[in-house]
Homo-oligomer: A and B are copies of this chain.
């Protein structure tokens, strides 16, 4: 296997090279010496160990090396890895969900946000018909992007509109705010009232239209991708200009961003007539594709519907409506990056819950260090005791998960006389998902035993035989200074509480709730039912 030395070294996963909490690199690329080379390497136990010419040593999982040999789908923003569509693709229904289900069920949120990533849109139904609610929808996955139209804008017939959107005219497919840079990448439209005839919404997949243009007229595609176009908006209080192509492609030529808005295309300057002719022919050709009936997905927003769509991919349109009928939408802008983050984190947390369930049901059914209960029973009982004591959610979670560090088959090592530091391993694993109110009591629950033994002789007296044995392995009771230092730590009191439930949770005769009973609580602790941005 031939590997590029600087690339390989830049990806060293050791904790000296990378912050384990967020993966940020702790060195600069210029910190690496000239002529860096591999001095030696060995493969064993699924790892490649590299000794570097500057003395550093790095270990890479072989599975990681295999993965990185494959091309990635990128960041999910180009045409690659997205599903381009025509209207008929939704003949069986739109990507949609009920607002209350979306709030309550993380899996629904994953589906809705995933649809926005994949298809460029989704519809939420039953969003309360309340002014300003659209901001809450945006904040359920990201941040509102304020513009000259405000944090929120009203789309209804206005007496003195500063924008065609606020009249009753039909509006052809377009993207919004092309004169902004950065352009808002998401738009939300929440329907509050819709009594007017007409006023239907239409969506067109601009990536699909651009891909069709590339197929049918590659030169026209090249012209549109290669010509920066000034988009302009100017009113009494605003003067915006952004020069960007109609079809934005990335450095590898993949379609990444569509800006299409005839209303605000400014004047192309400094080009000879022949080039302008060619550009306009390409522009008209692209515009005609966006108007093809098979690309128009028509949808009528009724009160309570909230459409979320990708404003750098989808074009949206509106049929004309009766001036006298009432129609009122509220909209706001937001951005795709936060949506993608919320989606990924929700997914990751759901996966963590599943992984926990699997541990409790699989490995957790095994022996618990010579006690009469299994490891899973022990932890479930600790959680149940915390819950019965009226402990807050985070503390029930800590009690339930306090011994998670024993999993992975390492419990036996502790019995053999090595402190496996299971409290730290457990807390570190949990810290990928849970905040310190959960992880710190877990981290300190072993120390809490040493602390209690120091300050409460009666406590030590009632330890089980196994627990008295591990106390010695763990370092014995704290001395006075250690105990004072411990008591001052944030989370110490919670750790002591966890410890007491821990000690009690070894009753083979006690009824033990299944892990599933704790799932709703863990979902709350993981912010998976809050309906607010993670």
Contact = CB atoms under 8 A, between A and B. Distances in A.
14 contacts: A6-B277, A7-B276, A22-B163, A22-B233, A22-B235, A24-B233, A24-B264, A68-B269, A69-B269, A144-B146, A181-B185, A182-B185, A227-B251, A241-B340
Contacts of A277: 4-7
A312 to B, nearest CB: 9
Contact of A284 (B6, B146, B164): B6
Work out how many copies of this chain go into the complex.
2
Given A7-B279, A181-B336, A181-B337, 8 more contacts: A29-B284, A30-B291, A147-B338, A236-B435, A238-B345, A239-B345, A240-B337, A242-B337
A133 interface: no
Given A22-B233, A30-B291, A160-B436, A341 B238 contact: yes
Nearest to A346: B239
Given A6-B280, A267-B68, A239 B75 contact: no
A226 B251 contact: yes
A159 to B, nearest CB: 9
Nearest to A291: B30
A278 to B, nearest CB: 9
A25 interface: yes
Interface of A: 2-7, 10-11, 19, 21-30, 32, 67-72, 74-78, 143-148, 160, 162-164, 172, 179-183, 185, 225-228, 230, 232-245, 250-252, 262-265, 267-270, 273-274, 276-277, 279-281, 283-284, 287-288, 291, 335-338, 340-341, 344-345, 348, 431-436, 527, 534
B242 A228 contact: no
Contacts of A6: 276-277, 280-281, 284
Contacts of A2: 273
